[in-house]
A and B are shown apart, each in its own frame.
Chain A
Amino acid sequence: MKETLVDGGPEAPARRGPPKSDGGAESARRRKKLVTVTRPWLLLAPSLLVLAGLLLWPLIQVGKLSMQDYEVKFGGGVGTFTGFDHYTDLLSSGLLWKTVLPNTVFFAIACVGLTVALGTLVALLLNRLGHFWRLICSIAILAAWAMPAVTGTYVWIWLFQPQDGMVSQIAGSLGLIDPETTNWFTERGPFYAIATLNVIHHGFPFVAITVLAGLMTIPKELYEAGELDGANAWQRFWNITVPTIKPVFLVVTILSTIWDFKVFTQIYLQPGGDGSNEDVYNLGVFSYIQAFAKNDYGTGAAAAVLLTVLLLLITVVYIRTLFRQGEEDL
């Protein structure tokens, strides 16, 4: 790759640009222009190839699959074109509207709201602490962040495990539940409440650290002026903090939204989340189960496309936000 960085690499015929006189200076200039045009693309080429081959191409394939009945025959796959059948089936199914979409959307809204609220509160707290406690709290936050989704999920399952789990036993000893018969994971509400706790625990550190970085850029004079004008803490937060670092809030909210719409591992690993309990399906799990457990790749792909379209809409908002930030031209 190194030679791509060298100015005036191997001579190549200049295809672009109108041919002019063949003077030495002219060809040197043309060569230089060619280098200027191709150099960024040579640098980008490996990344773009990987992204195109492993992200873009599969996306096109999933679109194609969603309009096929796909069967595995003699080790290879055979697709039969079925048009929009999978979509009409999917969009007319009660499961989608009563279970899958509400689970996906309400869970994402709850997770985003709580993650951003908690992350902001923690950022405000960190901003008020002295060096020592800020360091201690930052390390604790990093520990929560560093916990992989898989292991984090196992810990939350273990805490809420029927009968033996710590929370179940404490709730039982307080007389709130009967630990012998209560299973938090069989019903939608408690199932998603536990998943929400898990996702918040894993997700708020990013918000806290990003918002803290934003808070530290706000000039102290603004608050002093606010205090002189008699603004209380709440007013100072709403009228000074929020408007000043609004772009930071927008970005963490939209990023969290994108992440929380596609939560998979945390749901799939919880008891019943692997498809054995239809009540707790979200869009991602539904798509995965259809494809890999039921061998119905077409419907799975259609659900995946639906999720992608949802996320694409959110991403458009994200990109517009970034552009409107206008701190730097992209």
Chain B
Amino acid sequence: MSTRRTTLTSRAGLSVAVAALLVFTLFPVYWMISTALDPKASLRGSDVLPSGISFEHFTYVFEKGNFGTYLLNSALVGLATIVAAGVLSLFAAIAVARFKFRFRTSVLIMILIVQMVPLEALVIPLFIQMRDYDMLNSLLGLSVVYIALSLPFAIWTLRGFVATVPKEVEEAAYIDGASWPRMFWSVLLPLVAPGLVATSIFAFITAWNEFVFAYTFMKGSDKYTAAVGIYQFFGENSTAWGPVMASSTLVTLPVMIFFVVIHRKLGSGLAAGAVKG
């Protein structure tokens, strides 16, 4: 009897814990989306349900706020980052996971160390350099910075994936007469593809979400990225909460969809990269 009661109380406890978790994680998301849809957004106060559903704030941010351009800028910068960071980090990961060479450990430690460099330390000198080379307001300049920012984590994560590909598979292909490029394309690449997907998505998200560099470097308003574009609706004294939340939703939803779609890969990606170090 007593075990039955403990199961019941622990069931109740679990339910309460699950409910609390769902509220804490999802309420801000819900609040953002429902404010974006509420025609009287700024007067919402403590009403949990929106006063109505309309897409007027979304139309507003595209028509008055030029948000389509910002989303396109973010997508372009993100795409450049994915491609470059993916290729560079895969090569680097193969080097550190497959070959023994002098200073290999030093290279790995250096990669770990650059991961901790605070953006504030980089933004000042990079701003000065970009200004001197007339690279401010350039999507290319911004992409290059994001490539550098996403590389350490990408190398570190991919390294785990490359290491999990059994050497025997490669050796078997080698004995069958496969050349290095052939082995790369037909053996290694398919096996590390899940890792590449995970790191690409992280690289994309780094670029998509980044605020400090985009805010500092991109001053011409048609060069804003989406994360910075929201700032224009945010007033010092009165804020247009409908447009702010509509544009926030537009920035957030693609990332969320990505995360949910790849959530299985995400787990293994982190396990390969962060946990096992």
Cross-chain contact B46 with A143 (CB below 8 angstroms): no
Which residues from chain B contact A166 at a C-beta distance below 8 Å? 31, 44-46
B60-68, B99-107, B165-173: which lies at the A interface?
B99-107
> Is A184 part of the binding interface, using a Cβ–Cβ cutoff of 8 Å?
no
Answer whether residue A308 sits at the interface, using C-beta atoms and an 8 A cutoff.
Answer: yes
What sequence of 0s and 1s flags, for each residue 127-169 of chain A, a beta carbon within 8 Å of any chain B beta carbon? 0110001001111111111111111101110110100111001
> Any chain A CB within 8 A of the CB of B128?
yes
Residues on B facing A (Cβ under 8 Å): 14, 17-18, 21-22, 24-26, 28-29, 31-32, 35, 42-46, 87-89, 91-92, 94-96, 98-99, 101, 104-105, 107-129, 131-132, 144-145, 147-148, 151-152, 155, 163, 179-181, 184, 205, 208-209, 211-212, 216, 227, 230-231, 234, 239, 241, 244-245, 248-249, 251-252, 255-256, 258-260, 263, 266-267, 270-271, 274-277
Closest to B174 in A: A7
Across the interface, do B274 and A54 meet the contact criterion of CB distance under 8 Å?
Answer: no
Annotate A172-212 by CB proximity to B: 1 below 8 A, 0 otherwise.
01000000000000000000000000000100011001100
Main secondary structure of the interface of B (DSSP, over half): helix
Prevailing SS type, chain A contact patch: helix
Q: Which one of A19-27, A43-51, A91-99, A105-113 is at the interface?
A: A43-51
A151 to B32, Cβ gap below 8 A? Answer: yes
B220 to chain A, nearest CB (A): 17
Taking the closest CB of chain B, its distance from the CB of A318, in whole angstroms, is 7
Q: Which of B17, B121, B209, B274 makes the CB contact (< 8 A) with A59?
A: B121
A308–B118 touching, CB < 8 Å: yes
Besides A6-B180, A58-B129, A166-B44, 8 new A-B residue pairs in contact (Cβ under 8 A), listed by A number:
A43-B94, A54-B148, A138-B263, A140-B22, A151-B248, A255-B274, A283-B120, A315-B113
Confirm or deny: A280 has a beta carbon within 8 angstroms of a beta carbon on chain B: no
Chain A residues within 8 Å of B277, by CB? 251, 322, 325, 327
Question: In residues 252-306 of chain A, which contact B (Cβ within 8 Å)?
Answer: 255, 258, 261-262, 264-265, 268-269, 283-284, 287-288, 291-292, 297, 300-301, 303-305
- Interchain CA distance A192-B207 in the complex, whole Å: 27
- A77, B22: Cβ atoms under 8 Å? no
From residue B143, how far is it (CB to closest CB) to chain A in Å? 11
Min distance, Cβ B76 to any Cβ of chain A, angstroms: 17
Are A143 and B26 in contact (CB-based, < 8 A)?
A: yes
Shortest A219–chain B CB gap in Å is 17
Q: Is A221 an interface residue (CB 8 A)?
A: no
Q: What is the minimal beta-carbon distance from B219 to any residue of chain A, in angstroms?
A: 11
Contact B245 A43 (CB under 8 A): no
Q: Which residues of B contact A205 (CB under 8 A)?
A: 25
With both chains docked as a complex, state the minimum distance between the C-beta of B203 and any C-beta of chain A, in angstroms: 13
Contact residue among B28, B94, B209 (Cβ-Cβ distance under 8 Å from A144): B28
Is B181 a contact partner of A147 (Cβ separation < 8 A)? no
